[in-house]
Amino acid sequence: MSTFTAINLVARPDSGPISAEIFEVVHKPIPSAGPGQILVKQTHMSLDPAMVGWMSPDTESYIPPVGLGDVMRSSGIGEVVESNHPDFTVGERVMGMMGWTEYSLSSGEGLRKVQPGLDAEMVLSVFALPGLTATQGLFGCGHPKTGETIVVSGAAGSVGSIVGQLAKAEGLTVIGVAGTAEKCDWIVNDLGFDGAINYKTDDIDAKLTMLAPNGVDIYFENTGGPIQQHVFDHINAHGRVIVCGMISDYTAETPSAGPNWIPIIKKRITIQGFTMPDHLAQLPELIARLTPYVMQGKIKHRSHILNGLESAIDGLNLLLTGGNQGKLIVKL
């Protein structure tokens, strides 16, 4: 009987880098599909910043934390290798929350079929969590208008890179914040952002003054950190702040303080946090909204591929340090 590998979460992460010790690699016999079930062999597994939050014990978050002893939660794409389900046939590709495992049994609930011919990396980079998050955040919360200026943090990340390209396609001036010269080059020269700020080496305030001479109308927050205060200093009346991610603080021992709220009154700012589980019912609309931009070639992406299930553990730390270049995907 052949076996497969899965990885369980067995402890909560401390502050700082994520230790391999909080995971347990297990080997189990490959099961067979029961009545009404399908057996899926995962081929591509997505690593997303939100996963760091899912591991924390906070019971008040938008979805329950991953249980200790349970397979780590993640989304991915796989192939149906056995089917006792009338809606699925062997060889079809499906995507959904598969977890850190090579094989999984499913009733089909929560799985979407992947259109034949679509590249799996593109699907996970654009039409999965990153693209839908970018679409909901920018259009659902940001209300962008042609001629406005948007600042996006984590701009070379999976969500930020799509937010910036969507905003550019809508006629906004787009300024991206990233942490390496390579990422800043990529978002300006390959993705067409109007400007980039390297938060590690640039004078953020001076750069914002130069790149956003008419002030900032929208701030799309993916990282946390001092850019918040700088944006508050440059934001226009009726500015909108969309809070999508705080990767720099998720495993910080002491999460950084936010800016003082006086500008929220003076500029009548709206700050809105959102997470995708609230918008699952809108997925078809979000996909419909995003698709034309992709079809018109306006959304470029790049993937950072890791190989083998166990590479996911170190992969999480790439997200925390910004060491990845593009959407992190584990190929199985």
For 46, what's the count of Cα atoms within 13 Å in the CB-facing half-sphere?
28
Which CB, 33 or 241, lies closer to a second copy? 241
Which CB, 21 or 62, lies closer to a second copy? 62
Report the C-alpha dihedral over residues 15, 197, 137, 299, rounded to 10 degrees: -120
Measure the CA–CA gap between 270 and 293, rounded to whole angstroms.
27
Which CB, 5 or 275, lies closer to a second copy? 275
* DSSP character at residue 24: E
Measure the CA–CA gap between 62 and 56, rounded to whole angstroms.
12
Report the C-alpha dihedral over residues 274, 279, 285, 286, rounded to 10 degrees: 40
Q: How far is the CB of 265 from a second copy (least distance, A)?
A: 4
Q: How far is the CB of 43 from a second copy (least distance, A)?
A: 30
Q: How far is the CB of 277 from a second copy (least distance, A)?
A: 10
Q: How far is the CB of 58 from a second copy (least distance, A)?
A: 7
Q: How far is the CB of 274 from a second copy (least distance, A)?
A: 6
Which CB, 193 or 250, lies closer to a second copy? 250
Q: How far is the CB of 11 from a second copy (least distance, A)?
A: 21
Token code pair at residue 170: 């809508």
Report the C-alpha dihedral over residues 285, 290, 291, 292, rounded to 10 degrees: 110
Measure the CA–CA gap between 290 and 155, rounded to whole angstroms.
18
Which CB, 8 or 228, lies closer to a second copy? 228
**Three-class SS state of 177:** strand
Instruction: Say if residues 126 and 301 touch (Cβ distance below 8 Å).
Output: yes
Binding site for a second copy (CB under 8 A): 53, 58, 60-62, 221, 224, 228, 237, 243-246, 249-250, 255-275, 278
H or E segment and range at residue 23? strand 23-29
Q: How far is the CB of 258 from a second copy (least distance, A)?
A: 4
State whether the Cα torsion 130-218-189-247 is positive or negative.
negative
Measure the CA–CA gap between 35 and 207, rounded to whole angstroms.
61
